[in-house]
Amino acid sequence: MSESPLVPPSSVVLVSGGSRGLGLAIVSDLVGNGVKVAAFARTVTPELTALAEKYPDQVHIGSVDVNDAKATQAFVKEVEEKLGPIDGLVNNAAIGQDSLHVHTSADQLAHIIQTNLTSPLVLTRFVLRRLLAKSLKGRIVNITSICAQRGFPGLVAYSATKGGMDSATRSLARELGGRVLANSVAPGFFASDMSAVLGQTQLDQIVRRTPTGHLTEPDEVVPVVRMLLLDNTNINGQVLVLDGAASI
Ligand SMILES: NC(=O)c1ccc[n+]([C@@H]2O[C@H](COP(=O)([O-])OP(=O)(O)OC[C@H]3O[C@@H](n4cnc5c(N)ncnc54)[C@H](OP(=O)(O)O)[C@@H]3O)[C@@H](O)[C@H]2O)c1
């Protein structure tokens, strides 16, 4: 019998930056939908610890810096021993920026690019190599940003990393030949620690420019990530923009 061309729903999903903000919302939602989830961040929060304590057989967490390749790889192996092979990856961990390009040092630029672009690609490579070696299929969701589509002052390097991830998503989808569905989800601005640097004037301006009249809510992003990981779709290599048409 020939192999089904469909990519099954992910059963073990690794979420980077799953300790707070959107990442934590994604983790909670997946756990509630019966998916085994591993999450890491540099600091494990009480909320994430509570989930791991409530669902010890379904959730595995760790304190890991995405920029420490050895530590992320050790965590991946630990997750696979505990939960089984990872067949879903959400690259969510990222740092923001709040500095004009002319005031951003070369070291700061390198750190943003390392955290938001290079390290997620290194992690993706590691997860993919293990998945493909086991002849598994899988799904990748890269959390990018509206900043990859529209310009915002103070976010030059950040925007470059998000645009880079969107481009990588398209080429991954081509390269993986349908074994792995790779997509980006690009939210508009939503309230979180990262966006706390935006002033009320900037937030009001974004809302005024948004036909739906409100900032994106993490609750509006979570179901789209879930769909890309769990539903039977042929969506591949796409950037799904979730910004209430602010950028249109
Ligand atoms: N907020 C927005 O308006 C907005 C809009 C569009 C897209 N996004 C994107 O949405 C995603 C989530 O953003 P958010 O607003 O929820 O951010 P957040 O609240 O700042 O959370 C970021 C998460 O990433 C983790 N993280 C950061 N640096 C890390 C590192 N070096 N190693 C491991 N984990 C790291 C953080 O934990 P630790 O700090 O403890 O490591 C935290 O869990 C990001 O990719 C962001 O670019 C955000």
Residues 6+ apart with CB under 8 A from 214: 207, 244
Q: What is the per-residue pLDDT for 3?
A: 77
Q: pLDDT in tens for each of the 248 residues of the chain?
A: 677 889 999 999 999 999 999 999 999 999 999 999 999 999 999 999 999 999 999 999 999 999 999 999 999 999 999 999 999 999 999 999 999 999 999 999 999 999 999 999 999 999 999 999 999 999 999 999 999 999 999 999 999 999 999 999 999 999 999 999 999 999 999 999 999 888 888 889 999 999 999 999 999 999 999 999 999 999 999 999 999 999 99
Protein residue whose Cα sits closest to atom 46 of ligand 1: 94
CA 134 to ligand 1 center in whole angstroms: 30
Tokens of 225: 């990530």
Q: Return the pLDDT at 1.
A: 60
Whether 75 lines ligand 1, by a CB cut-off of 6 Å, is no
**Cβ–Cβ < 8 Å for 109, 58:** no
Taking 3-state DSSP, the helix, strand and coil percentages for the chain, each rounded to the nearest 5, stand at 45, 15, 40
SS3 label, residue 217: coil
Q: How close is the Cα of 133 to the center of ligand 1, in Å? A: 30
Residue for token pair 């992690």: 123
Q: Give the torsion through C-alpha atoms of 43, 45, 51, 53, to 10 deg.
A: 80
> Smallest Cα–Cα separation from 165: which of 220, 123, 216, 227?
123
- Order the strands of the 239-242 sheet from edge to edge: 59-63, 36-41, 12-16, 88-91, 138-143, 180-187, 239-242
- Cα 95 to ligand 1 centroid, rounded to whole Å: 6
User: Any idea where the domains of the chain sit in the sequence?
Assistant: 12-241
Q: Which CATH class is domain 12-241?
A: alpha beta
Question: Sign of the C-alpha dihedral, residues 115, 121, 122, 124?
Answer: positive
Which of 43, 48, 92 gets mutated to test ligand 1 (max ligand atoms within 8 A of its CB)?
A: 92
* Protein residue whose Cα sits closest to atom 4 of ligand 1: 189
Residue 148 carries which DSSP code? Answer: G
Give the ligand 1 atom nearest the CA of 67.
Answer: 31
Torsion angle in degrees (nearest 10) through CA of 128, 131, 137, 138: -50
Give per-residue burial for 51-71: e unless 16+ CB within 10 Å, then b: bbeeeeebbbbbebebeeeee
Distance from Cα 148 to the centre of ligand 1, integer Å:
16
The pair of structure tokens assigned to 223 is: 């179901």
Contact 12, 131 (CB under 8 A): no
Residue 111 C-alpha to ligand 1 middle, in angstroms? 14
Of ligand 1's atoms, which has the minimum distance to the CA of residue 64? 33
For residue 41, give the amino acid letter: A
Residue 2 has φ and ψ, to the nearest 5°, of -75, 150
Residues assigned a catalytic role: 158
- The predicted pLDDT at position 5 comes to 85
Tell the residue nearest (CA) to atom 47 of ligand 1.
94
- Identify the residue whose C-alpha is closest to ligand 1 atom 21: 21
Q: Is the minimum distance from the CB of 43 to ligand 1 under 6 angstroms?
A: yes
Any ligand 1 atom below 6 A from CB of 192? yes
Say yes or no: CB of residue 95 within 6 Å of ligand 1: yes
